[in-house]
């Protein structure tokens, strides 16, 4: 009897050298003297994102929609799913017990973990559930994280450990819970892209080096903010649609309203995403520590560029853990044109 060939599905998922833990361990080996703590942290983050992805997918029949009745430091009403995602990250990361403190968009102060007193090299800041306005509408939402090495490992951990420039980031990443669940991260040597295989519950490496393509011709911006933009910002956005001779540029517009989703599309398809400072948000709308800086690190590692509207975003050092910033990111050539032409801030 002739031997049966394994079908494609089985063949594809049985690749044990490309799951998250295996890839992270392989990368660790390229850093002689590494303690393994960063690998454990990335693997723990992967676990937390699988749990959050499940909560997002099943929220409808688990009664996880609606509000908790509290507001966060940004004066936003906290959604039940925001709160659950926050708790999952704090519990999974604390249980992993290998680092000092955490910052969450949903918590006013930095959280000192059990193991905080004296253990651990790293601190983690995260936006547990990005895209809250899209929760419940079956539109992708996500989780964003940033990792810094503590300034002084012997000193007790404090919020000061987080007030470091973006250029000092050790690692950054996000998960996107949509038609597929993606886990994307960088440790400063390119961008790794994993896709969750729900049949075995594993993140499988699907793109070892994600790179922003040139010529994406996609603009992503909330044009409802047009009245609050400076004349040069308005002119710049117009120039993405119409050439001086009145003909079309060939650009199209995409705006999901979930930062991670708009960012993920931008690094896969090119173009430019903008949430610049404006009269409505003079300091910017998005959060510097756990939204803009981690995504700026990934964008640069993917060959792109990120600004705060005026300067290279990674050079910024947060003055407080919940500081806001402008965010303009995408293909280097287009973001540079923005820098030269659009002065977003309105006097
Ligand atoms: P959170 O959902 O984490 O609060 O993030 C803010 C956010 O939802 C981003 O994901 C998104 O890019 C932006 O706000 C949308 O803002 P707006 O509704 O003003 O366009």
CATH number of the domain where residue 33 is located? 3.30.540.10
Task: Give per-residue pLDDT as tens, 257-288.
Answer: 999 999 999 999 999 999 999 999 999 999 99
Give the distance (Å) from ligand 1 centre to CA of residue 209: 27
CATH number of the domain where residue 297 is located? 3.40.190.80
pLDDT value, residue 126: 97
Within this chain, do residues 281 and 308 fall inside the same structural domain, yes or no? yes
Q: Is 60 exposed, middle or buried (0-12, 13-18, 19+ CB in 10 A)?
A: exposed
Within this chain, do residues 248 and 129 fall inside the same structural domain, yes or no? no
Point out the domain boundary residue: 207, 234, 255. Answer: 207
Q: Does residue 131's CB lie within 6 angstroms of at least one atom of ligand 1?
A: yes
Residue 8 pLDDT > 60 = no
pLDDT value, residue 267: 98
pLDDT value, residue 344: 65
Whose structure tokens read 């393509």? 213
* % the chain with pLDDT above 70: 91
Give the distance (Å) from ligand 1 centre to CA of residue 260: 9
Q: Does residue 79's CB lie within 6 angstroms of at least one atom of ligand 1?
A: no
Cβ atoms of residues 171 and 42 within 8 Å: yes
Within this chain, do residues 100 and 128 fall inside the same structural domain, yes or no? yes
Residue 14 pLDDT > 60 = no
Within this chain, do residues 257 and 277 fall inside the same structural domain, yes or no? yes
d(Cα 170, Cα 179) in Å, to the nearest integer? 29
In terms of DSSP bridges, do strands 67-71 and 181-186 run parallel, antiparallel, or are they unpaired? unpaired
Q: Choose between 12 and 341: higher pLDDT.
A: 341
pLDDT value, residue 4: 53
pLDDT value, residue 103: 95
Within this chain, do residues 52 and 157 fall inside the same structural domain, yes or no? yes
Q: Does residue 133's CB lie within 6 angstroms of at least one atom of ligand 1?
A: yes
Cβ atoms of residues 67 and 83 within 8 Å: no
Probe residue for ligand 1, chosen from 81, 278, 281, 286 as the CB with the greatest number of ligand atoms within 8 Å: 286
Q: Does residue 116's CB lie within 6 angstroms of at least one atom of ligand 1?
A: no
Domain assignment present for residue 301? The answer is: yes
**Which H, E and C letters describe 246-288, residue by residue?**
CCECCCEECCCCCHHHHHHHHHHHCCEEEECCCCCCCCCCEEH
pLDDT value, residue 302: 98
Residue 185 pLDDT > 70 = yes
d(Cα 321, Cα 318) in Å, to the nearest integer? 7
Within this chain, do residues 202 and 229 fall inside the same structural domain, yes or no? no
Residue 214 pLDDT > 70 = yes
Within this chain, do residues 122 and 231 fall inside the same structural domain, yes or no? no
Task: Give per-residue pLDDT as tens, 43-98.
Answer: 999 999 999 999 999 999 999 999 999 988 888 899 999 999 999 999 998 887 65
pLDDT value, residue 307: 98
Tokens of 341: 């032409």
Under the banding of pLDDT at 50, 70 and 90, the label for residue 9 is low
pLDDT value, residue 76: 87
Q: Does residue 258's CB lie within 6 angstroms of at least one atom of ligand 1?
A: yes
Give the distance (Å) from ligand 1 centre to CA of residue 105: 12
d(Cα 37, Cα 33) in Å, to the nearest integer? 11
Q: Which domain holds residue 111?
A: 8-207
Q: What is the CA radius of gyration of the chain?
A: 21
Residue 2 pLDDT > 90 = no
* % the chain with pLDDT above 90: 78
Tokens of 300: 């640069």
Cβ atoms of residues 101 and 123 within 8 Å: yes
Residue 111 pLDDT > 90 = no
Within this chain, do residues 137 and 199 fall inside the same structural domain, yes or no? yes
Cβ atoms of residues 239 and 233 within 8 Å: no
Task: Give per-residue pLDDT as tens, 121-175.
Answer: 899 999 999 998 898 899 999 999 999 998 877 787 788 899 999 999 999 999 9
Prediction pTM value: 0.94
pLDDT value, residue 153: 74
Probe residue for ligand 1, chosen from 72, 81, 221, 258 as the CB with the greatest number of ligand atoms within 8 Å: 258
Q: Is 6 exposed, middle or buried (0-12, 13-18, 19+ CB in 10 A)?
A: exposed
Task: Give per-residue pLDDT as tens, 15-32.
Answer: 678 999 999 999 998 888
Within this chain, do residues 103 and 50 fall inside the same structural domain, yes or no? yes
Residue 169 φ/ψ, nearest 5 degrees: -60, 140
- Ligand 1 atom closest to Cα of 132? 2
Within this chain, do residues 203 and 278 fall inside the same structural domain, yes or no? no
Under the banding of pLDDT at 50, 70 and 90, the label for residue 308 is very high
């Amino acid at each position: 009897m002739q031997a049966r060939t394994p079908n494609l599905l089985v063949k594809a998922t049985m690749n044990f050298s490309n799951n998250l833990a295996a890839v992270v361990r392989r990368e660790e080996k390229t850093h002689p003297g590494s303690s393994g703590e960063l690998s454990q942290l990335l693997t723990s983050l992967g676990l937390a994102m699988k749990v959050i992805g499940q909560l997002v997918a099943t929220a409808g029949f688990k009664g996880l929609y609606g509000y908790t009745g509290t507001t966060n430091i940004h004066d936003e009403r906290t959604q039940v799913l925001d709160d659950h995602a926050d708790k999952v990250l704090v519990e999974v990361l604390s249980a992993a017990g290998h680092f000092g403190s955490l910052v969450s968009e949903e918590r006013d102060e930095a959280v000192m973990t059990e193991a905080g007193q004296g253990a651990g090299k790293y601190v983690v800041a995260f936006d547990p559930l990005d895209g809250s306005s899209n929760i419940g509408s079956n539109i992708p939402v996500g989780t964003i994280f940033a990792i810094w090495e503590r300034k002084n490992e012997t000193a007790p951990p404090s919020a000061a450990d987080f007030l470091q420039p973006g250029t000092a980031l050790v690692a950054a990443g996000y998960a996107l819970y949509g038609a597929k669940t993606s886990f994307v991260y960088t440790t400063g040597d390119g961008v790794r892209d994993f896709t969750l295989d729900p049949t075995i519950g594993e993140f499988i490496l699907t793109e070892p080096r994600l790179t922003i393509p040139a010529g994406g011709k996609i603009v992503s911006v909330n044009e409802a903010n047009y009245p609050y933009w400076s004349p040069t910002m308005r002119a710049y956005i117009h120039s993405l649609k119409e050439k001086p001779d009145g003909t079309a540029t060939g650009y199209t517009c995409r705006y999901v309203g979930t930062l991670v989703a708009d960012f993920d599309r931008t690094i896969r398809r090119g173009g430019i995403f903008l949430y610049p400072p404006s009269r409505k948000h003079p300091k910017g709308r998005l959060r510097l520590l756990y939204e803009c800086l981690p995504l700026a690190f990934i964008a640069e590692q993917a060959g792109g560029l990120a600004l705060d509207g005026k300067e290279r975003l990674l050079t910024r050092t947060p003055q407080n853990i919940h500081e806001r910033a402008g965010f303009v990111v995408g293909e280097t050539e287009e973001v540079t044109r923005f820098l030269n032409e659009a002065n977003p801030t309105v006097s």
